[in-house]
Structure 1
């Protein structure tokens, strides 16, 4: 979690989006959901999300918010 926050520090343009997603998913998402996402993204339930993937996801969320 600390690694993800550190990654976000360098991307202030998506901070608000990150806060919105944290509220929507909960500060710590459900473990079953996380396992599912890690399997579908990395092929391994025990994988740790990469910082660049987090940034890509949040940028996608930001674009999606604007299009609504």
Structure 2
């Protein structure tokens, strides 16, 4: 599964479940690059090195793409945190 496929799968699930959409947005905001507004394309995207490190620590491969269910489980867990 490519990152684009993962994004579309999560977007579809978010459309069907607004509470999940809020949790996914919360996770996306936490993962953003600290100075995202200074770099083109001026979107709150995570740093590539950070995503690679997170994938390596979670899946043992820095090029891994997480399954949608793992991202959803993490987003729901984050949504329950203060």
Query: Is TM more than 0.5 here?
Result: yes
Which runs of 5 or more residues in structure 2 are unaligned? 1-6, 33-43
Unaligned stretches of 5+ residues in structure 1: none
- Counterpart position of 1:25: 31
Aligned to 2:10: 4
Provide the TM-score with structure 1 as the length reference: 0.74
* Rg larger for: 2
Comparing both structures, which one devotes a greater share of its residues to helix? 1
Instruction: Output the TM-score relative to the length of structure 2.
Output: 0.64
Query: What's the offset of the Cα at 1:64?
Result: 0.3
**How many residues were matched structurally?**
65
Give me the CA root mean square deviation. 1.8
Poorly superposed stretches of 4+, deviation over 6 Å: none
